[in-house]
Amino acid sequence: MRFRIFTLTCATLFLAMPVFPYGALGHETVGAIADMKLAGTPTGAQVTKLLNGITLSRASVLADEIKGWDRLPKGQPKPILLKDHPQLQEQLVAFWEANPPTKAKGSDAPTHKEFHYTDVPAVDGGKYVKGNLGTEPYDIVQMIPFCVRVLSGAEPETNARKITKPIALILLAHYVGDIHQPLHVGNAYFSSAGNLVNPTKGGKSFPDHGGNGFNIILSDAQTSKKDSKADSKSGGKSSGKKSSKSKGTNLHSFWDSDAVEAALKHVDTQIEKQPNHKGKATDEEVIAWFANSEPTDWKPAAKSQPTEWAQAWANEIIPMSTQAHERLEFSNVTIKNESASGDATEKKMPDGISYLEWSGLRTEEELHKAGWRLAAIIEASLESKKPTAPKTKSTQ
């Protein structure tokens, strides 16, 4: 797959960026769709102003990039992520410091890492209910509305989380992508014997934390190139099907990266199949493909507030998370540090669709919706800031 650069307008910045943890392609796609949808609109102008010219596509990966700061020795200055935007860099550092990666004794400050997900049990029609198992006061379903409130002015920029308006945009550009990745919302829970269980039915159970501890083993040998790299690194000991436990082959990364690549490849194919289309699909064509056609069922419920959308999106994706687990067979499950790990092997399904193909198709729909929803939530958040027109007599 070719290397995509959606941040075409700030290519120099892009080149200066450090290596991504993972999932950058998905986030950039979502950001680029929103950039295209907002281009030339009053909201787009506000975004450009708040982000000092940085695109949403570029902004979308910053919440992951600051995780690179977590490992720096205390007191060491943070590497510059936004070279020509010192004020934004400063605000990012302040945000990181207010939500440090490890909790200081006696501090109730959350860590920025926990803002990216929630761990709702993805079984038996599980739903996000604030305060229930798997949810946290500062999980993704709470943080998205927090950012919305900052943008609309309902929450002051001087808040304890140090989320200013530009930071709120940067975080929204990322979290709206994350909440459309099924394993960022729904979790599998295992018994101490290693069996999949419904944790709400009692008994001790352990989450898989978004699949990070599970090796994914695909049946059609379509494991990613990262798998083969991992295999060759292990001295060729691996039989080829069973991947070594390396980063990049786990179930979570599969959804962050492999499924995204499969989705974009599918879009490439559709573009290239069009009559009169010559050559390979370009990045801009891919983004236009998403931005110019309305996804199905993406719209928020009528009269709902943008602060309510994250919960609706979470509940919408939980069934996909359930299926993402149901299409796998879990084995060699061990429980360590209160979380489950092991192997996740693709099952042969009655629909005959491979795990890679299925996840690619689902991810294509989710990227599409996420891009449109990112544009919509930013628009709705910034719009509510405008003074409301004086009330006239209701026509109802």
- Which tokens belong to 213? 């501890």
Nearer to Zn ion by Cβ, of 145 and 199: the residue is 145
Is 139 an interacting residue with respect to Zn ion (CB under 5 A)? no
Amino acid identity for residue 359 in this structure: S
Nearer to Zn ion by Cβ, of 143 and 151: the residue is 143
Q: Is 309 left (phi over 0), alpha (psi -120 to 50) or beta?
A: alpha
Mark residues 58-97: x for contact with Zn ion by CB under 5 A, - for none.
Answer: ----------------------------------------
Mark residues 240-269: x for contact with Zn ion by CB under 5 A, - for none.
Answer: ------------------------------
**Shortest distance, position 256 Cβ to Zn ion, whole Å:** 8
Residues 188 and 335 sit within 8 Å (Cβ to Cβ): no
Beta bridge partner(s), residue 206: 190
User: Pick from 102, 22, 104: which is nearest to 69 by CA?
Assistant: 102
Nearer to Zn ion by Cβ, of 29 and 223: the residue is 29
Nearer to Zn ion by Cβ, of 149 and 252: the residue is 252
User: Pick from 185, 145, 137: which is nearest to 163 by CA?
Assistant: 145
Counting every residue, how long is the chain? 396
Nearer to Zn ion by Cβ, of 26 and 213: the residue is 26
For Zn ion (CB under 5 A), the number of binding residues is: 2
SS3 384: coil
**Shortest distance, position 64 Cβ to Zn ion, whole Å:** 5
Is 116 an interacting residue with respect to Zn ion (CB under 5 A)? yes
Residues 6 and 29 sit within 8 Å (Cβ to Cβ): yes
Nearest-CB residue to Zn ion?
Answer: 116
Amino acid identity for residue 155 in this structure: E
**Shortest distance, position 20 Cβ to Zn ion, whole Å:** 11
Nearer to Zn ion by Cβ, of 176 and 217: the residue is 176
- Which tokens belong to 12? 């120099």
Q: What is d(CA 194, CA 342) in angstroms, rounded to the nearest whole number?
A: 9
DSSP 254: I
Site for Zn ion in 148-187 (CB under 5 A): 178
> Rounded to whole angstroms, what are the CA distances from 226 to 27, 131, 230, 248?
20, 38, 6, 6
Q: Choose the binding region for Zn ion from 2-10, 93-101, 116-124, 267-275 (rule: CB under 5 A).
A: 116-124
Residues 349 and 327 sit within 8 Å (Cβ to Cβ): yes
**Shortest distance, position 177 Cβ to Zn ion, whole Å:** 7
Q: Choose the binding region for Zn ion from 110-118, 285-293, 321-329, 355-363 (rule: CB under 5 A).
A: 110-118
Nearer to Zn ion by Cβ, of 24 and 50: the residue is 24
SS3 215: strand
Residues 206 and 119 sit within 8 Å (Cβ to Cβ): no
Is 112 an interacting residue with respect to Zn ion (CB under 5 A)? no
Q: Choose the binding region for Zn ion from 92-100, 113-121, 201-209, 353-361 (rule: CB under 5 A).
A: 113-121
Beta bridge partner(s), residue 189: 197, 207
**Shortest distance, position 148 Cβ to Zn ion, whole Å:** 18
**Shortest distance, position 252 Cβ to Zn ion, whole Å:** 10
Binding residues for Zn ion, rule: CB under 5 A, are 116, 178
